[in-house]
Amino acid sequence: MTLAKSSELGITHLPDHTELPESDGTFVKNFQEHPQSILLTDSITNVLQQLHPDNQYCIGQDCGIYWRLTEPPERGAEAPDWFYVPNVPPMLNGKFRRSYVLWQEYVAPLIVLEFVSGDGSEERDKTPLNGKFWVYEQAIRVPFYGIYEVNQASVEVYHLVDGHYELVTANERGHYVIPPMGVELGIWQGQYKNSAAPWLRWWDAQGNLLLNSDEKSQQLTSQLEQEHERSHQLALQLEQEQQRAERLAERLRQLGIDPNSL
């Protein structure tokens, strides 16, 4: 049941996020998706805080985006693995969202990311009303849609242009530019937590990798160690200079010259 049909049938109450199911009860996740979502959120937080000094934004991970009324209700939602919505409160009426309800929120996500578990056909399905690709493009109208295939170590990014998705071309760094966020999206091969794998990561507009909390901590530790080493070397140099000065003073005294009179 679409929103238009609900009004035609005389439905006066549209359910909000507290009344709609937050899960369809299926198991579709794998062990890589949880740390991948955390990595994306952790490393982009500083950028989003700069874009939104008033903290008016939210990030969803495996949360339902309700775009139409159906029976059962959960059939009217898509649950991206990761998405970001600008210019909305982080909470509703002081409560965490159970889902993101478009007829309650009005603002569509700026970007949604899907992590492929199968062959990618579900994420590229353009079947009207049911296919994920169609829903993001034609119903929710998400400006940027990313399909990440961990097994292929690749990502496709689509941009909504004149009502239809166009495949974004990678730049010279192999990254995909997301202009409204001032960042680039791409694949990074390395170790995160205890797993070495290809990971979906953010870079800034100059191509610098946006670090997560662990990397920032390691970078700070390294900088402190380098500063400590520089201080140690300086102390050694000062000690050597002092020793040389003392030897010179002793030599002058042996020659009958008071070094303090010089």
- pLDDT value for 4: 46
Structure tokens at 198: 């290809």
Q: How many Cα atoms sit within 13 Å of 115 on the Cβ side?
A: 23
- pLDDT value for 227: 74
- pLDDT value for 21: 62
Q: pLDDT averaged over consecutive 10-residue blocks of the chain (262 residues)?
A: 49 72 56 92 97 97 94 93 97 92 95 94 96 98 97 96 98 98 97 92 97 87 72 79 84 82 74
Instruction: Return d(Cα 151, Cα 118) in angstroms, integer.
Output: 9
Give the C-alpha distances (Å, rounded to integers) separating 182 from 102, 128, 203: 25, 32, 9
- pLDDT value for 1: 46
- pLDDT value for 22: 55
Taken in order of first residue, the domains within the chain and their CATH numbers are 3-210 (3.90.1570), 220-261 (no CATH)
Strands, DSSP E only, in 22-81? 57-60, 65-66, 77-78
